[in-house]
Amino acid sequence: MSDALAVIGERHSLPLLRELAYGYHRFSELVSLTGAPRTLLAGRLRKLEESGVVVRTRYSDHPPRFDYHLTPAGEDLVPVMLMLKEWGERHVGDDAPKAVFRHSCGAELHPETVCAACRRTVAPGDFEVVGGTHPPVLRP
């Protein structure tokens, strides 16, 4: 998780990625929607591009202008951002949702994490560390 936060954890990175996921691609739109200073936003975009999360494409030669799109790695962050939005509205913010989404099935979207094998919702206590570099939890 710390490797992921090194890429997307800086201030204004998630709001920037959110706006790209919502379909805003021009630098001027991103500045306006995120409220980030232009120089800071340019730096975040450059870092996200170097990390393979965002791709920059030229849409004008005179003057040179670019728009920004999520790469497949950036698109993989969309469920994470949707879950953070859901969590924030449930536990941190006021009661008014900031944006309401409708899924392609027609229902209002409220994402949840499910096991890919059994399709059951994942909750604390439903999983354990069994490999990788993290030491396993020793239970009495």
For residue 24, is pLDDT > 80? yes
Q: What are the residue ranges spanned by the domains of the chain? A: 2-75
Cβ neighbours of residue 78 under 8 Å, at least 6 residues apart? 21, 70
Cβ neighbours of residue 40 under 8 Å, at least 6 residues apart? 12
At residue 31, φ and ψ (nearest 5 deg) are -60, -50
Answer whether 33's CB lies under 8 Å from 26's CB.
no
At residue 54, φ and ψ (nearest 5 deg) are -130, 145
The percentage of the chain sitting over the pLDDT mark of 90, rounded to a whole number, equals 57
CATH architecture of 2-75: Orthogonal Bundle (1.10)
pTM: 0.82
Predicted confidence at residue 72, as pLDDT, reads 97
Cβ neighbours of residue 87 under 8 Å, at least 6 residues apart? none
